[in-house]
Amino acid sequence: MPRLRYEGSGMTTHKVPCLVVGGGIGGLTAALALARRGRDVHVLEKADAFTEIGAGLQLAPNATRVLTELGVMDALMAHAVAPARLLWMDALAEKPITAVDLGAPFRRHFGYPYLVMHRGDLLTALLDACRASGRVTLEASREVVAVEDRGTTALARCANGDSFETEILIGADGLWSGIRKLLHPDEPSRVPYVAYRGTMPMKDASAHAGADTVVMWVGPNMHFVQYSIRAGEEFNQVAVFKSPTYSTNDNDWGTPEQLDAHFAQCCSYVRESVKLMWRHIRWPMYDREPISDWVKGRIALLGDAAHPMFQYIAQGACQAIEDGFCLAREVTATPDPAQGLEAYRQARYLRTARVQLTARAMGAFFHLDGVNAQLRNAMMASRQATDYAPLDWLYGHKA
């Protein structure tokens, strides 16, 4: 892709048609979607390489629909697992609460599969497709320190003094987005919950671990998720709990010792599985209130920069994927880039706010205790595994 540049005062300004700041799942989906619609895109990534931190992720039909239309599903299926069901279990009583059939009835209903996979495998597929498109250029080790809306263009300034001038600037720079600060003054708020994640070879997982099931164990102020990834060769686990010593002033909370102590009340299977978690890193959880002001002139937010959400309904990556596809559609539907970005905002902000708030509410539902938990379990017991009506608004959405 050609890139114009001009120099002065020892600095270089590059002119690019579309600029994406952030080379994660959302940013690369937007770049690929724009490329598929005939637009040239330049992507800047702060890190030294285009990589994903973390382990597994879940892709519901609202995301696999988009990835199918972008032409990356064949690459994904070489690494993904298509589970047969989603199972909720009571972590204390070791009893089923409810299940969702993810097999043939699910695919007939929604038209697309439910997949689980390693985040890195999804990012690699998007990267390969962007490179193969011939319209996407990618630069790592490029930290954007300031952005500016100039009316007919936008400008991004990098830490090394270089600048990029563009017709549209997409801020896909995550939870701690610096670009969001231009549009909205809020900061992420830390909550008392912390997550531990980890993968292991499937042969090292418990003999009870199901290769074809996504299992979520729920209990008082905690939940534990298990599923296989990488074509069934690895097993992914996520443990989340509320720390009794949570503090906003220091990081000495949510320790591995607290992890073990909190899950000690669980059934023996969960207790033994938690022992296999990675202990060298933990992920404190953060929240933001939904906002509507995602766009300023030629600058727009996308993914976690616009609407970070709890992982309780596994929609963070899915919503970023929806964003990227919708943004490309709206921007290429009009000759006025600012009008296209505003149409993207109008199409997305209420939906993503609903997903954010639903995730928050479902977290509270999972983490009930005592009589409240018993009532939850009794309410869910009569639900049929093929009752997809409550999921239609979420999984059936066409970005």
Tokens of 115: 């997949």
Task: Copy the structure tokens of residue 87.
Answer: 């199972």
Instruction: Please tell me the distance from the alpha carbon of residue 262 to that of residue 217, in angstroms, as a whole number.
Output: 14
- Give catalytic residues, as residue numbers: 227
Beta bridge mates, 144: 158
Q: Which two tokens stand for residue 291?
A: 């906002």
Contact residues for 7 (Cβ-Cβ < 8 A; gap 6+): 13
Do the beta carbons of residue 11 and residue 161 sit within 8 Å? yes
Nearest C-alpha neighbor of 61 from the set 109, 11, 121, 1: 109
Residue 231: both structure tokens together: 């074509």
User: Apex CA 322: angle with CA 320 and CA 324, to 5°?
Assistant: 70
C-alpha 22/C-alpha 188 separation (Å) is 18
